[in-house]
Amino acid sequence: MGGCAEVKFILAILSLFLSFQASAKIIPVGSRQQFKTVTAGIQAAAVGDTVLVDAGYYKEKNLQILKSIVLIGINYPVLDGENKYEIISIKADSVEVNGFKIIRSGHSSLVDLSGIKIYDSRNVTVKNNILKDTFFGIYVQNGLNCTIENNQVIAVGKGGEQQNGNGIHCWQSEGMRIIRNTVTGHRDGIYFEFVKNSIIWRNTSVKNVRYGLHFMFSNDDTYVSNVFENNGSGVSIMFSHRIKMFNNFFEENWGDAAYGILLKEISDGYMEGNYFSKNTSAIYMEGANRIEMRRNTFKNNGWALKIQASCSDVVLERNNFIGNTFDVGTNGSLVLNRFINNYWDKYEGYDLDKNKIGDIAYRPVSMFSMIVEKYPSAMILFRTFIVTLLDKTEKIMPTLTPENLKDQAPLMKKAF
């Protein structure tokens, strides 16, 4: 009868779990409830309890969450920071904040006041919130395994870079999941500094003052299926290693210092399936090493690729270049990168053996793009007869353009 005893034992343990769960209380907060303020509700809650906040308007100054509780808002109760306070400060593990409308945090140039700030905690979830007119939106400092999901972060301030914080800001964190958020009007939409092993998935970052996404010193991160549109200067990835980028959209980042994506001092990156359209420069690379780019689409950009001579071992394979004013721009004659099997709509070669690969190499750097790189004012001669003539002669006998920058096997038809 040993088996029966075992079953009993398991049942006993299960019931223990059940009773433990049943002990988690629900604490209602609202104008007609027992607790009138969220602060009082949180104070009354024990570890594991749920504080359920009715719709309404709450001025709670700074809400401190110091224990593992779940804070849920029904129909978006408003938490107002009166332009003075940080609104929610999370300083405990496994906290969840869900369904609030958080408005008007304080602004400060000394402290990074935020709508929601997570301090040194793990497994925190912040989801389904609306943040409006906050200095920093959601700020994670020293977080581990936190989830930031389905929030709308909107800055209303018209201030420049200094009067405006970042939408979602992560610092010194690991294992972050940033999913399906929308960020508008902040300094940087999403900002990562010293963040490792994290994923950014299905976010929309539009019309931010500086960058849609900004990486600094963050390694082993992946971002997938995000939309970066109309930001001050696009997306910037700096001093980071082993970043993977899949299926992102980079659109309409216009201006002199605006890039679809800026890659500076990064190495071992991988980019696939991204779509760049209508950017002044779709990709600007400086000091980038061992980057692989496959199956990306560059359409209607000013420059599809600006690759400085300081880059090495960058591989471009099976990308589509369509309708760009200039395909590739560079600043020197040293080429340590490889272009192969890309589709270039400006390619004028032929395919005699019908293997769908052009028989002569394509040189994506035109003479005029070299001239413009050196003398920007020469842009005024764009599409003149003399420039076309120069480009044609240069194509036949390269003198100024780097001899080795060419696609040995360009595709005759689109790569995909």
Binding site for other proteins (CB under 8 A): 254-256, 258, 278-280, 300-303, 323, 325-326, 371, 374-389
Which CB atom, from 66 or from 379, has the smaller least distance to other proteins? 379
Q: How many CB atoms lie within 10 A of CB 171?
A: 18
In angstroms, give the least distance from the CB of 325 to other proteins. 4
Question: How far is residue 211's CA from residue 293's CA, in Å, rounded to a whole number?
Answer: 22
CA 274 – CA 237 distance, rounded (Å): 15
* Residue 34 vs 384, nearer CB to other proteins: 384
DSSP alpha helix (H) spans, 45-192: none
Say how many C-beta atoms besides its own lie within 10 A of residue 72's C-beta. 17
Token pair in block for residue 377: 């004012």
Closer to other proteins by Cβ: residue 258 or 335:
258
- Closer by beta carbon to other proteins, 350 or else 382: 382
Q: What are phi and psi of 262, to 5 degrees?
A: -105, 120
Residue closer to other proteins by CB (options 125, 401) is: 401
* Token digits of residue 324: 């760009």
**Which structure tokens are listed for 107?**
């602004």
Nearer of residues 169 and 299 to other proteins, judged by Cβ: 299
Spacing of C-alpha 360 from chain mean position: 39
CB of 358 to other proteins, least distance (A): 20
Q: Which residues, including other chains, have CB under 8 Å from residue 242's CB and lie 6 or more apart? A: 219, 220, 267, 268, 269
Contact 177, 154 (CB under 8 A): no
Closest separation in Å from C-beta 388 to other proteins: 8
Q: Which two tokens stand for residue 304?
A: 């599809």
Q: Closest distance between other proteins and the C-beta of residue 187, in Å?
A: 22
Minimum distance from CB of 386 to other proteins (Å)?
Answer: 4
Cα 178 to Cα 168: distance, rounded to the nearest angstrom: 9
Judged by beta carbon, residue 168 or residue 258, the one nearer other proteins is 258
Shortest spacing between CB 369 and other proteins, in angstroms: 10
For the bound state, the minimum distance from the C-beta of residue 208 to other proteins, rounded and expressed in Å, comes to 18
Q: Which two tokens stand for residue 82?
A: 């009166």
- Transcribe 161-174 into DSSP letters: STT---SEEEEEEE
* Shortest CB 326 distance to other proteins, Å: 7
Distance CA 318, CA 293 (A): 8
CB of 387 to other proteins, least distance (A): 7
Give the span between the Cα atoms of 148 and 29, in whole angstroms.
24
**How many CB atoms sit inside 10 A of residue 360's CB?**
14
* CB closer to other proteins, 73 vs 260: 260
Q: Closest CB to other proteins among 73 and 232?
A: 232
